[in-house]
Amino acid sequence: MCFFFNHTFTRGTIAGKPVPRRKSEAIRMNNFTLSDIAQHADTCPILIAGPTASGKSALAMEIAERFGGAILNADAFQIYSNWRVLTARPSNVDEDKAPHFLYGHIAPDAAYSVGHWLAEITPLLNASPRPIITGGTGLYFQALTKGLANIPSIPPEIRKAAQEEISKKGFEALLSGLDAATKSRIDCKNPMRVQRAWEVQKATGRSIAVWQASTPKPLLPVARCITLLCDVDKDWLNQRIQNRFHKMIEEGALDEAAANLPSWSADLPASRAIGARQLIAHLRGEMSLSKAIEEATIATRQYAKRQRTWFRSKMDHWSKCDPRRL
């Protein structure tokens, strides 16, 4: 049997007495320990979300080694075949220690949506060993645990039109064409989400907000899972992001960028990997390596900030944990 580690707290006082939170406001906090996993069936899925560099992958590996399980990727950057070091994909050593799926299996120029990911992960959910789903793409988890609207495939000409519009006017031009309901549902600072919303609206004549209103039942409701949200100190995370990018350079991220240079195009889906644009600019002589590292580090911190904001607003009911202290 799977169940939550649910702890209800108060939300203020009336006449000096605590006012219990409504059931929908229940928050699961840091009481979770790895030993708690043993209380669950060995097939109980484990979901691990959190901002980049927060320790998700290491936590997934520790759980897989101690309790068994296959690690399934839920990160939109780690699916691409051409960026292993730069996207912090699991190493060959880690992949030898535990089964890993949905990592580095998509070509750099291939379109890949939440729907593609959901279709690929579906047959893995009931496979043995237990699925340990980890990543930083909140929409993947939302689709998995809350359902995904059955939006038709986007015709290539619509996607091309979107890319041309971005090249001419920037992604803000796409954002201006979206309705208010859609803007309230997506991360308007994420170019990938804005482009997707624009393409859906152009291709179907219906906004994403309308499609989502008829979303089917989810494949994996949270009631059937152990759900963990890596919630770490912001200052610690920012320093780790800086240290990690320097380590990526040491481990071959620049060589990886050089291998991508001949076929580089900013319009390719894989080119949105954080740090890719800066390293390519350095290789082209457009900025120093130190400047490229600085800008990539800033971009990563900004991305982590957006992730933290999104997780707080959408996944506040997940068990919060600090992987360093489990």
**Per-residue model confidence as pLDDT tens digits over 17-67:** 333 333 333 333 456 788 889 888 888 999 999 999 999 999 999 999 999
Q: Sheet harboring 70-73: ordered strands across?
A: 100-101, 70-73, 131-135, 46-49, 226-230, 319-321
Distance separating alpha carbons of residues 241 and 305, to the nearest angstrom: 12
pLDDT of 81: 98
* Domain covering 156-212, topology: Histone, subunit A (1.10.20)
CA distances 47 to 44, 139, 225, Å, are 10, 13, 7
**pLDDT of residue 9 exceeding 70:** no
pLDDT of 2: 55
The two tokens of residue 100 are: 């890993």
pLDDT of 326: 78
b/e per residue, 19-36, with b = 16+ CB within 10 A?
eeeeeeeeebeeebeeee
Higher confidence at residue 147 or residue 18? 147
How many alpha carbons lie under 13 Å from residue 69 in its C-beta half-sphere? 27
CA distances 109 to 23, 79, 321, Å, are 45, 12, 36
Helical ranges in 45-190 per DSSP H? 56-67, 92-97, 114-121, 138-146, 156-169, 171-175, 180-185
Biggest alpha carbon distance in the chain?
69
Stated pTM of the model = 0.79
pLDDT of 8: 30
b/e per residue, 294-304, with b = 16+ CB within 10 A?
ebbbebbbebb
Coil, helix or strand for 90? coil
Fold matches, 156-212 and 234-306: no
Contact in structure between 100 and 22 (CB atoms under 8 Å)? no
The tens digit of pLDDT for each residue in 276-322 reads 999 999 999 999 999 999 999 999 999 999 999 999 999 989 999 99
The two tokens of residue 123 are: 């047959």
Distance separating alpha carbons of residues 204 and 64, to the nearest angstrom: 42
Contact in structure between 109 and 270 (CB atoms under 8 Å)? yes
How high is the mean pLDDT of the chain? 88
CA distances 324 to 33, 54, 232, 237, 320, Å, are 11, 9, 9, 12, 12
Average pLDDT of the segment spanning 67-81: 97
pLDDT tier at 172, thresholds 50, 70, 90: confident
Options 1.10.760.10, 3.30.450.20, 3.30.420.40, 3.40.50.300; which CATH number does 10-149+219-232+315-325 get? 3.40.50.300
pLDDT of 219: 94
Higher confidence at residue 259 or residue 187? 259
Query: For the ranges 31-35, 177-181, 186-190, 246-250, which has the lowest average pLDDT?
Result: 31-35
Give just the sign of the alpha carbon dihedral 6, 7, 12, 14: positive
Distance separating alpha carbons of residues 83 and 254, to the nearest angstrom: 11
Higher confidence at residue 29 or residue 162? 162
Which CATH class name applies to 234-306?
Answer: mainly alpha
The two tokens of residue 15 are: 């006449």
Query: For the ranges 32-41, 99-108, 226-235, which has the lowest average pLDDT?
Result: 32-41
Distance separating alpha carbons of residues 188 and 139, to the nearest angstrom: 13
pLDDT tier at 127, thresholds 50, 70, 90: confident
Distance separating alpha carbons of residues 55 and 230, to the nearest angstrom: 7
**pLDDT of residue 12 exceeding 60:** no
pLDDT tier at 227, thresholds 50, 70, 90: very high
**pLDDT of residue 5 exceeding 50:** no
**pLDDT of residue 1 exceeding 90:** no
pLDDT of 30: 52
pLDDT of 29: 41
**Domain segments of the chain as ranges:** 10-149+219-232+315-325, 156-212, 234-306
